[in-house]
Structure 1
Amino acid sequence: MARSWRKAKNHSNRFTIWSIITVMNLRSIDLNLLVILEALLDEAHVGRAADRVGLSQPAASAALQRCRHLFDDPLLVRGRGAMHLTPKAQSLRDPLKSALAAIGQLVDPPNTPIAQICATLRITMADYPAALLTTVLQARLAETAPGIDLVIQPWQGGRLARAALIDGTTDMALSVFPGDDPDICRTEILHEHYVIALRTGHPAINGFDIARWLEWPHIVVSGKGEARSPLDLQFAERGLSRRVGMVVPAFGMVPELLRQSDRIAMLPSRVAEAAPGLVMLPPPIPVAGFTLHLAWHRRRAGDRALRHVAALLAAQSIDAAAC
Structure 2
Amino acid sequence: MGASRRRIEPEVTGSPHYDGVFHNVLPGSTLAPGSTASMFKSLLTRGDRGKPQGVVPLAPVPPLTEAADLAATWLGHASALLEIDGHWILADPVWGDRVSPSPTVGPHRLHPVPMALEDLPRLDAVIISHDHYDHLDLPTVRALIASQSAPFFVPMGIGAHLRKWGVPEDRIVELGWNDSSKAGEITLTCTEARHFSGRGLKRDVTLWSSWSLAGPEHRVFFGGDTGYTPAFAEMGARLGPFDLTLLPIGAYGDQWPDIHMNPEQAWRAHGDLGGKIFMPIHWATFDLAFHTWAEPIERLLVAGNPKSIVAPPPGGRVLVSSPPAVTRWWAGL
> Which TM-score applies when normalising by structure 2?
0.22
Q: Which has the larger radius of gyration?
A: 1
> Which TM-score applies when normalising by structure 1?
0.23
**Bigger relative contact order (CA 8 A; separation at least 6):** 2
